Each structure stands twice: as structure tokens, then as C-alpha cells.
Structure 1
């Protein structure tokens, strides 16, 4: 009788281990896919006047910049610089939103990483909880 109970308990443990391992394997596979999707993120934005197009990668880094030839008709370099900066910043903000959407299923909602992506607050990312 005790031997049967031991076998049943062992089978239960084996079944639970198989279930946990299956969950781990699925999570590992999902994380591999997530890593590829994160690395592939590219967001392009166009300026309001349609003369500047900026594309940024997953870290918000500028990976492409296109200037319409019409932009050179106006010799206001400061305005051009402001337009480029604003367009790149918009693309970077949209990229952070896309990264947050991808990460939300893998991190707790109150995690520092998600708060950083949402609010661009480095203290959330670095875990500064000693403020008060």
C-alpha cells in the first residue's frame, strides 16, 4: 500500500515537473521570438511639412534620415535643425511605445523598465526608491 502511494506521489511529481518544463520551454521560445522582434523594431516619422523623414531603431537611435529636395529652397538652417530634431524625437517616442507594447507581457506592470519606457524617467529604470 505504501509502495503504491510512493509511486503515485512520484508520478505526480514527474507530471508536475513535465508541466513546469513545458512552461519553461514555451517561455524560452517566446523570449527568443521577443528578442528578434525587439531587434527588428524600426519606426519612421515624417515632419508636418513632409520634408523630413527620420527612422529610428529599437534603442531610439537614428538609422535613416531623408530630406526632400524642396527643403534646400529655404536657407533657414536653424529651422531645418529644429524640424529634424523634432521628427527624430517623435520617432524615438513612438519606438519606446512599441517596445513597451512588446515587453508588457513579460514584465510586471509596475516594473522599472516599463515605467522608464512609459515616462522616460531614469530613476524608475535605476530603481531609486530612496527618494522621499
Structure 2
């Protein structure tokens, strides 16, 4: 949707129609997209293949698998770092997949700002769409 020229009544009507159509489209399609995102799970493996982490759409850890071969090298710091890195990689992949799921209806930069909890970016994006002086 393109911002409209506030001095152009036809442009304002077209913009309002576009917003209305987008709203109805979202109303119809969002439930199915939400369900896809809600049930999303992503599994990533560590580079050595000994750690496998599965996360949900919000990056919450759902499952952690540790190959028993990790005990051949008793380095708890390395193990902890590998687990953390693998979980973060899975969470980042899940986040990107959520953005992709909603891409047909919500621009990626808007969705990323919402997922990041970046209120300033969300408000800035909304303000950029408003008519008049900013």
C-alpha cells in the first residue's frame, strides 16, 4: 500500500479501499497462517552433529538431544556453548520462517519489528503511513 496525497480525495478514497480490502483479506487468511505459525517447529544440529535442538515458533526449546559421544570429551563449557549456539540458530530459523509464513499479508520489516518487540520501529512504520505533516 502506498501512502496517499492528503490533498487528493480520489487518492484518499483509493487508499481507504485498499486498507479495507487488506483488512478483509487478513480477516480471512490470518487464522490459517496463525495456526501454521503456532505449530511451527524447527530443528537445528550443531556443526559436529552431536547436539540437536528443536524450538517452537517463539524460539522456546521443545526438545534437546545430546549424542552420548559428547562424553568422550568432558568439556562442560564447550558443551554448554554448543547447546546455546544450536538453540539460538534454531530460534533464528524459526523466527525467519514465521516472517515467511505471514509474508503474503504482513511486510517482512513490519513482522520482524513485531517479533523483536521493537515498539519504536512499529510506531515509526505506522506513522509513515499517516497523512499530513510528520
TM range (shorter): 0.5 to 0.7
- Structure 1 residue 27, shift from structure 2 partner: 4.1
Q: Which runs of 5+ in 2 are unaligned?
A: 1-19, 126-134
- Secondary structure of the residue aligned to 2:106 is coil
Q: Deviations over 1:24-60 (max 9, x none)?
A: 3x64342121111011110000000000000000100
Contact preservation (8 Å) 2:45, 2:51? yes
Cα distance in structure 1, aligned partners of 2:108 and 2:50: 38
SS in 2 for 1:98: helix
In the other structure, the counterpart of 1:114 is 112
Structure 1: 5+ residue stretches without partners = 1-19
Contact 1:60 1:95 in 2 (8 A): yes
| Shift, 1:79, TM fit | 0.2
Output one character per residue of 1:54-96: Cα deviation in whole Å (capped at 9) or x when no partner.
0000100000000001011111000000000000000000001
Secondary structure at 1:50 match in 2: coil
Aligned to 2:131: none
Give the TM-score normalised by the residue count of structure 2: 0.66
- Which residue is 1:6 aligned to? none
Instruction: Measure how far apart 1:115 and its partner are.
Output: 3.5
1:86: which partner in 2?
Answer: 85
Residue 128 (structure 1) shift = 6.6
TM-score (normalised: structure 1)? 0.67
- Count of residue pairs the alignment pairs up: 105
Larger radius of gyration: 1
